[in-house]
Structure 1
Amino acid sequence: MIDVTHPGTFHGLPVHTLPLSEASGAGALPATGTVAWRLDCMADELEFEEAWRRFLSTVDPGQVRALLIGPWWDEDYVPFTPVVEAIASDAHRFPALRAVFLGDVDSEECQISWLEMCDITPVLEALPSLEELAVRGCGYMEPEEHLRLRPVRHEALTTLRVESGGLPAHFVRAVGASDLPALEHLELWFGVSWYGGDATVPDLAPVLSGAGLPSLRHLGLQNSEIQDEIAAAVASAPVVARLDSLALSLGTLGDAGAQALVEGQPLTHLSALDLRHHYVSAPLVSRIRDLCEQAGVRVDLDEAEDRGTGDDEARYVAVSE
């Protein structure tokens, strides 16, 4: 297992958590456009609506380039919908906003699979100039709090990263049905069925075809308990030929998936192949490493797991609960 942590930088900017309460003492703040602004209601014991109001009155929203939403609850957990509604309704006040991280919450604040999300489509619709969207969570207990997306066309988005311990199949299908002509980096963490991760390889078909993703250069299909099946599909996927990097890490990749990659279409055009946290046997690890080194491909085969190389039931993904 790995810990889910806060990023130190986001969209190329250092992250700065805005002091929201009088007790925290704001002091001198950095120039608005030089940092990625992070809101943390838990730290300042404020309800989100009040935290958002203070944010808008403290920082010039017209110069905000990147925004991270940390814990959006002060004491008792609350739904995420008001956060999406606030960002969407005030989007006109953020002409320079290019990156948003929904759910920058670490493992100490809340486990990833307990982070209840909602329909995040309004954020994309309200911010047509958004270039990077990161999402953390899923919400597997109540259907109305599931992470959801409606198929959209967004001409500016270049990076979409979704970290989840249980990514719903309908979300994966919505990504594949979206028209994202500028998207260069797509990263999906599938998680496990116990936490609502019910996506299958057929759900990935539009992504693997690459039809709606003409600019894609990095594809991450990660943290999956069906990592072997995904690897087998990737081995013949049309989208792979135009990728610069590929990540099938954090999941339960074993010999079946690794063998499919070795015997499938060439991966020698890649600059990087990420397979860390895997269950591949030593001989196949050596073979993959040799093939990559001969072609000049940087390969990450770290975090080899000892358990379950031949037993799917004993394998686990890196991030679930």
Structure 2
Amino acid sequence: MGRKATVIDGNRAASGVKDGLKGRVEALAGAGRRPGLGTILVGDDAGSRAYVAGKHRDCAEVGIESLRIELRASAKHDDVLAAVAQLNADPRCSGFIVQLPLPRHIDTHEVLNAVDPDKDADGLHPTNLGRLVLGQPATLPCTPRGILELLRGNDVPITGSQFCVIGCGTTVGRPLGLMLTRPSEHATVTMCNDATIDVAAHTRVADVVIAAAGVAHLVKPFWIKPGATVLSVGITRTVEGILGDVHPDVEQVAGKWTQATGGVGPMTRAMLLKNVVELAERAASPGDSTTSTTSTRMSTRVMDGTARLPQG
């Protein structure tokens, strides 16, 4: 057996983020503005219920207030819109999410578009994504933000590096490409999708490969340039357990990598908390607001068509 790649520990990084948030939460609470995360859960999907419960456990760790709205699967469309309006108007709620999937009889696009962009904890409202395109300050999408913090925290060069991002979904690939090409990062980015003829031809020359396709063990060892950094984002649930987009044998070639669990997932959850705290700080200083409510509601918070994201 040769050397193995260094494992990038997302759990440790997420713990550091949460420790750093505690003082900021205490300061806001002392000023009477304790941050609050709201969640809207419709139905009894076990995975969604566990995911939402995990978010609120994270809140308890750092002192963020939990605001939960749970509706039966038979809830009417207007009931869900009313729940969104309730959190939009609730001063205790700094930011919130609508947990997907929603029951089929609910118009998901209309519900998600009704979220106030100033309370968009996921950073995926069109107002916030538009500001990202324009290079203006805005709430950033959680998973791409977590990826960048993992790279920086593990001394992975970004500026001038060649990145290959596999997957062009709204949740990870597209916003990540935008963030990597900002003047503050100045990376060179190749975006691959399911129509890319030879993905391996792009990954073999990349300094950093980020796989967010939701295809188990898609990225093979021979796809990777020796010493490159490889992040596994998408996951697939099988009878064998949770499998990541990156084959485990990649650790024999890469310099640094994340495993299927314990890598990007914990940082995604930590970035949700960070977004909520920043939204609370922004609300406490309205003159510094970077977003504004718009009457034009468009669809954004839709999971990557091909990728299921890690939950921890």
Tell me if TM exceeds 0.5. no
Q: Which has the larger radius of gyration?
A: 1
Output the TM-score relative to the length of structure 2. Answer: 0.36
TM-score normalised to structure 1 length: 0.36
Higher relative contact order (CA 8 A, sep 6+): 2
